[in-house]
Every structure is written in structure tokens, then in C-alpha cells.
Structure 1
Amino acid sequence: MTRIVILNRADPRRIRYDQVIDHQRHDVTYIGQFLNQKSPANATIFPARLADLDADALPAHIEEACANCDYLVARGERDLLLAARIRERFNIPGDSVARVLPIRDKLTMRMAAHQSSLKQPAFWALAKYKRISASLPPDQKLVLKPRLDAASNGIWIGPRAGLDARIESLDERDWLVEEFVPGDIFHLDGLLSGGELTLLQASKYVNTCFSFASGSALGSTQVDNPEWASLAVTDIARALGYRDGGFHLEMIVDRDGQPFFLEFAGRIGGAYIAEAFELKTGVNLHHGDLHCILGDVAKVDNGRGRADMFGWFLFPYGAEIDYGSVGQVFRHEFVQCHINASPAKPDVPSYSEIHSPFGGIVRGLESCEGAIDSIVRYVTTKSNSLANIS
């Protein structure tokens, strides 16, 4: 009987581990959050706040489970390094810290990306930036990023003069600075198996992850895969040493139509990316990712294409909106509409519907951008109108 430990941070009902892992044949232990929902039969459940776990000082029951497992599965962005450290401590097969850092640490990622053919923004470790900042124009737009955070948490964008005033108290080891490249942001999602691209779907963001972290709605619409997309995925994945599993690659296309590498994540994208992907291709990205991670690549479905494009949108926790009649007004556009009257407050910006008051998936013949814009404008305008009346 294979012993599998899963570090879980998302709602497991969206991933449905039990549809990939036979819980009758395998000994499965779940460690993490949102496990008070209906869990698979015959599984062991250990609720825990994953951010509080230290790989070198685990609670006794969690340490025992990890020390005796054959597979340790962790597909959340913030849990990849924790899992890698636990694997190294107990000699569990799978990704090591050295293999995770290029897809997790943004500075390591930028340095490794030099081995690809992709253009990327100029960047500096914070210590180096301090040495060269005076050579940059005071009004040059720059991006300050934490090396190990996610979901645009902690990012600041502004002129060099404003940045220089912010960085004196920061730990130089934890931050990097990048040139700001204006343009449209795309995300490429799919699966890699043995370094070969199995599935790919491109989407264009509506609004930005940075603005979502600041309180605005975020969305994206699927588009036809650009000519450069396949090469971008395989080239950057090769440079970062990522060969198997789901991926989420973000690119900026500047005003001249040139693509620039932004970030690569060796896991499934958040929000409703996986659901929209399945509507388009027929493939459940979470399940394909798990098959790759567990070595069952023969079970990965190559999918089928649909002519329609699908898009999604999500409001962050704390957003003030009036979604009362939106389902009726936009009923022809909606594929799914999720209203959460009591979202859970996240510790950090989160794309989970557990933490969102309102989100959904829409369908369009060519693009969903217009529908997403209209829905977001409708619910925010109504909210503003009610606020003015009160």
C-alpha cells in the first residue's frame, strides 16, 4: 500500500484528489486547511495552518506521517518549498529545494531565465540596485518585489525616486527590483510531461494581479494561442529545470508586440483558471497535474478543443459590491456564478472563491473581455449608487 501525504491549502472539493488517487488502495493523509468539508473516505485528516509549519520542527503526528510516506504532494505556491524541505529531511522522492527555487524564488528565476531565448525586464537584487540606482532617471518606473511571496502580495510599482525612499529598512536578501514594462499581460496554462508540452491555452488578463491585491476585481479571457506561446513555455521550463506537471506562465506583450517573460509557476493557476481550461479543452488541469506528479503520465488526457472562449472574474475579500440582480441581467453570458455572502478572511491576497464575495465564469464567441468589463462595472456602479444614497 502506497503512503501518500498531501499538503492542502485550497478547497479540496475543487481539486477532487479522490478522482485521481484510489483511497481504497493507498494510505492517504491530508495535512492543511479547509479539510472540515466532506473528505474522502478512509483518509487521515490533520488540520494545520501550513504557514506555521517548520520542516525541521513538525508536530509529532505530522512528522510521523511525513517520515513514513512514499509521496509528498504539495501544489500550492506557498507550500512548494516547505514540501521540498520535508522531502530532503526524510529522503522522500520528489522535488528538492534546489529544483523548487528556480520556480519559486523570483531572483533565482530571473537569473535562470537568462538561459532561455526570452526577453525579460532588467532586474537587480536589492543590494545591487542600491549601488546603481543613482544612474537611473528619477522618474523611471520600477517594480519592487518580494522574492518568495505570491499573488502580487507586497509588490510596489512607481518611480525610482519613490522606490528609493521605501527600501532603506528592507532586508536586502528578501527583495528584488525590476524594470516596469508596460503592455498587456497574458497567462499560459497547461501541462508538461518529460519536458514535452502536452496541453496549452493562452489567456489575457482583464485588470492585473497587482490591482487585485489592492482591492480591484481581476479576470482573464481565453484567446487563440499566439505564435510565440509554445516556444515560450518549453524554453523557459527548460531553463528553470521544470519538466513534469501543470504550469502557469505569465508574459507581458509590449506596445510593439514583443513578448517579455514575467513569471513562471510550476503549479496550476488560481481563481477559475482550471475550470475555464476544462470548459475549453475537456481536461481537468488539477487531475492532469496530479497524474504527472505521481508518475501516471499515460493517464493524462490530450483533450479536445471548443470554438467558444471562456473567461472568469473574481472580486477580492472586502470588496464592496452589489451583486443582487447580476445573475439575471447577465444570464446569457454566465456559465457559472458564485456568490459568497460570508467569505473567509485570508491571511494574504487569495484567488480562492472561499475568500471572494463574488466571481464567475462566462462564455464568448471570440473574447470574454467585454462581458467581464460589463459585469464588473455593473456590480460596482450599483454599489456606488447605494453608497451615495445612504
Structure 2
Amino acid sequence: MKILVIHQVPYRKMSYHLGLDHDRHEVTYIGYPQRMADLPAELRCRRIELTEGEDLVEGVTARVSPRDGFEKLLSLSEFGILQAWHIRRHLGLAGPSLEQIERVRDKVSMKQALADSGIRHPRFEPAPAPCDALPWTGRTVIKPRQGASSEGVTLHDTAREALTAYWKLDDRLDFQLEEYIDGDILHIDGLVSDGTPGDLVVSRYINKPVEYLDGHVIASHQIPDPHGRFRHFAEQVVKALEIESGCVHLELFETAEGELVFLEIANRMGGAGVVNAHLGHTGVHLPSHEIAIRLGLERPAPAEPSGRYHGWLVVPGHHLGTRGHTITVPEAVRQHPAIDALHVLAPEQPLPDHITYHEWLVPVFIEASHADAGELAAFFRECARTITVEPAPAGG
């Protein structure tokens, strides 16, 4: 099979070689210089490098054509799904429709598609008129209609304050207003094949993704789903949004009363430590299985599950500036039996200047597991309480 890969996600996150036989198939990678540089030198493939800063769709379509004979296109990035639609049209390849893509990329379209499904979701307003009031009065979120990692999200104490902030935005049409839902945030990760979700794993966040923007630690740990309540919710969402294939990363609220409320969904694998946690708990390597599903290949045999609940914790550094820093990880954390991997930024490495969850860029990243989900959660809370990152004094 002749395959074109739009290479946007770091190779160490995708490990394409685990799911794609490069000796059996004719694989071409195309992408920007920084990303292409992380392809393993020994990987058998053709490589096409774009010019830094050029439009991805224009760059790809200028370099490949239907005459090249590509049979499949792989684009597994959150940000490449829409671009891939244009490139598939250029190459004459089948794939999801623009409407299907919007339902998993645009946070307004996905909630509109749930309108008659019976699935509760936050009330929202994509384009209020200048004199309109919102149909709720309390805490309100302004968030981009598209995007990931909670970038651009702001929280306001009242609907009136949110509207005032909304009208000050120059690019307000790219944003929506949404009522704040009070509750824990969970995420469900798995795979969809022929419209049927499977290999679903439920995890609960410690702190919320939006709090990570302000410098709070975020963690996630898997939890049991003995009665299938969360799995059933995910199945309903996948069916309502007509997701046909690939990874899904579904985020939802669980209120104090136990009600489940849809937050958003992405038709790609989750970030941070989701892939390794999922692999440990289920034996399923999400990227490899997604590649097989999207290419119509036989899925790899899963590894042996660990029999434990897995999770991850990230200590941010983007809010501290890039100058020197001091990281303190207590010895009790370093030696804890739940620890599977501990990544600590080297003193000579600068703190990240942007929001990231990559373990090789953040000050501290922990992967851990335990036979008891509650014990794992308690360990992560202790980590969040005791691990510190202090920037060097100005002028120091």
C-alpha cells in the first residue's frame, strides 16, 4: 500500500513503526523541518520537507499529486484533521466528510449535533447579538470553537461579565460562550471501528485542564466502571456524532448528584500520558490500533494488561518564565512504589515558553500505577501538594 503521512505529532508519541510495517508498505512522510527531524534515521520511508511557515495544505498539494498513486492518507493530529480533508480532495481519496469533521473539531457543531440525543451538555451561545443577555446568569466560560489543551479559555463569575469580555475580543466569531458546569471532569479514551466504540477506559482528572493554564498541577487516574455507566455515555455520544473510526478522547462532567454532562470530544488520541496509561491498563497501544483501523489493516495483538490502574501527572512551567529554576521532588515521591516513570527537567534546560504536556519539556512528569484506583489518586494528590518549581530570582 502507498501511504502519505502528514507528520505533525512528535514521533515519540506516535511510534508509527509499531503499527505500520515500513518494509511492507511504501510510506511517505511530509511535514515541517522541526517535525521531520524527529523521524528515526533508520526508518525506511520517503521524506518530503515543507518550508517553515508555509501553509500546510498549499505546501502538501504543491508537492504531491494524484499521479503519485497514494492509496491512503494518515493525519492523526488534532490540528491536521481539517487540513487532511483538503489534501484528500486534491488526491482523490475517500475520507470523512467536512460535516463529520466539524462535529469533532468545532465545539459549537458538536453540541448542536447532540440537541435531540437526550445527552445533556452545557448551554451555549456561539454568536450573541449586541443587546442580548445569555439564558443563564452565573459563571460562564469563553472558549475557542476549535483548539486543544484549554488554550484561550477564560472563566468569568457572571454571564454579564463574560459578555463584556466577549465583546472586547477582536476575533470573537472564533469563540463561544458556555455555561459553567460544577463537577469533576473525566475523560474516556478508546477506539472506534465501523462506528462501534471499544477498548474504552475512564479516567478522572485531579484539578481541571483550564487550571493548568494558570500554573496548577494536573493529573489523571483511571477509575473502574463496574456498571458500564460511563461506557454507555461514550457509546451514546459516538452514535449521536456519527464518529466512524479512529481514536476518541471524550471529556465530560460528573456533577455532585452523579449526572453526566458532555463537555467535548476529539477524534484523536488523548495527550499527556494517555497512550502509556491506556497501554498499561488494556495492553492496547492506541496509535498503532488507530493506524490499523484507518488503513484497513489487521489490528496488532494487544500486550498483556497490567491488572493495575494507571495515570499521569504534569507540573507546568510555562507560567514562570524561561530563566533558571529549582525543582524539588520529595524523596518519598521519588521512591514511591506506584512510580513507573519520573521525568524531571534538567537544570540546564529552560522552562517551556508555551503550554505543553510533553514529558521532555515540562518541569516534572510522572507516570504511576496501583492496584487500587483510590490509592493512585491519593498518591497524585500528595505529589501535587509537595512537588515545587521555583524560578530563579530576577537578575540571578
TM-score (normalised: structure 2): 0.86
Equivalent position to 2:373, from 366, 369, 372: 366
Task: Look up the match of 1:12.
Answer: 11
Structure 1 residues 159-308: aligned runs within 5 Å: 159-168=158-167, 169-225=169-225, 227-296=228-297, 298-301=298-301, 305-308=305-308
Q: State the superposition RMSD in angstroms.
A: 2.8
Task: Look up the match of 1:44.
Answer: 46
Distance 2:380 2:281 in 1: 17
| CA gap 1:95/1:135 in 2 versus in 1, 3 angstroms | closer
Deviation digits for residues 182-223 of structure 1 (CA, Å, limit 9, x no counterpart):
000000011121122221110000111111122222110100
Deviation, structure 1 residue 50: 8.5
Distance 2:186 2:67 in 1: 37
Distance 1:190 1:59 in 2: 30
Task: Look up the match of 2:123.
Answer: 122
Distance 1:15 1:148 in 2: 22
Equivalent position to 1:335, from 320, 340, 345: 340
| CA gap 1:334/1:62 in 2 versus in 1, 3 angstroms | farther
Distance 1:173 1:121 in 2: 19
Distance 2:111 2:223 in 1: 26
Equivalent position to 1:53, from 42, 52, 55: 55
2:179 maps to amino acid: E
Distance 2:114 2:48 in 1: 38
1:143 maps to amino acid: V
Identity between Structure 1 and Structure 2 (%): 24
Task: Look up the match of 1:146.
Answer: 144
Where 1:149 maps in the other structure, the secondary structure is coil
| Aligned pairs, number | 380
Q: Which runs of 5+ in 2 are unaligned?
A: none
| CA gap 1:40/1:84 in 2 versus in 1, 3 angstroms | farther
Structure 1 residues 28-107: aligned runs within 5 Å: 28-32=27-31, 33-37=34-38, 38-48=40-50, 52-55=54-57, 57-58=58-59, 62-64=63-65, 68-107=69-108
Where 1:165 maps in the other structure, the secondary structure is helix
Q: Does 1:350 align with 2:362?
A: no
Q: Which structure carries more helix by proportion?
A: 1
Q: Is the 8 A contact 2:183 2:255 kept in 1?
A: yes
Distance 1:48 1:357 in 2: 31
Structure 1 residues 368-383: aligned runs within 5 Å: 368-380=376-388, 383=390
Deviation, structure 1 residue 68: 4.3
Deviation, structure 1 residue 5: 1.5
Distance 1:111 1:317 in 2: 36
| CA gap 1:49/1:355 in 2 versus in 1, 3 angstroms | farther
2:358 maps to amino acid: S
Distance 2:302 2:117 in 1: 26
